[in-house]
Amino acid sequence: MKLNIPRFLSCLACALAAFATALVPQTSSADETSAAWQTDYKQALDQAVKEDKQVLLNFTGSDWCPYCIQMDKEVFEKPAFKKYAAENLILVKLDFPRRKQLPSNEKEQNQELQKQYSINGFPAYVLLDSSGKEINRQVGSLDGGPPAFIKWTQSKK
């Protein structure tokens, strides 16, 4: 059997990179202090009352909507937003995927909230106070990264 040197070296490089990554100690990150996206609306409202925080409803098409995916990458996955959200917001992801199945109770809840808040496009963001009263609304992505989105959460409509 003849050894294909370029292919062998490529495979070896990949294996070494994976091994080296596994050896690097994990340091603390924004994820450790960040708020997690919840899917239960009522539970999130209860938590908001207990913690005196606002609730951010994220109406998204996570697996098909390009602007939703862009907002995830450019805002929600950034350490600045994660830190701010952990301190100030209860995050609720109301997903309307096309390629994956949601549990039936979650799908039903999301559809009811879509009607309740008259959501006709994605992404859409509804900011609530801890009692569930609407404070602000944004339909479509918001340019400017985490600073612009954080500023939006701090403004009243």
Is the residue at 5 inside a domain?
A: no
Chain segment 133-146, per-residue pLDDT in tens: 999 999 999 999 99
Tell me the longest C-alpha to C-alpha distance in the chain.
71
Region for 130 from its dihedrals, namely left if φ exceeds 0, alpha if ψ lies in -120 to 50, beta otherwise:
alpha
- The whole-model pTM stands at 0.78
Is the residue at 131 inside a domain?
A: yes
Is the residue at 128 inside a domain?
A: yes
Look up the CATH number of the domain holding residue 47.
3.40.30.10
Alpha carbon distance 61, 87 (integer Å): 26
Is the residue at 2 inside a domain?
A: no
Is the residue at 144 inside a domain?
A: yes
Is the residue at 6 inside a domain?
A: no
Give how many domains the chain has, as a whole number: 1
Is the residue at 37 inside a domain?
A: yes
User: What is the H or E stretch that residue 142 is in?
Assistant: none
Is the residue at 13 inside a domain?
A: no
| Minimum mean pLDDT range among 3-7, 66-70, 125-129 | 3-7
Pairing of strands 54-60, 89-95: parallel
Helix 79-88 to helix 145-154 angle (10° resolution) is 20
Q: Which domain holds residue 80?
A: 30-154
Chain segment 45-104, per-residue pLDDT in tens: 999 999 999 999 999 999 999 999 999 999 999 999 999 999 999 999 999 999 999 999
DSSP 92-130: EEEE--SSSPPPHHHHHHHHHHHHHTT--SSSEEEEE-T
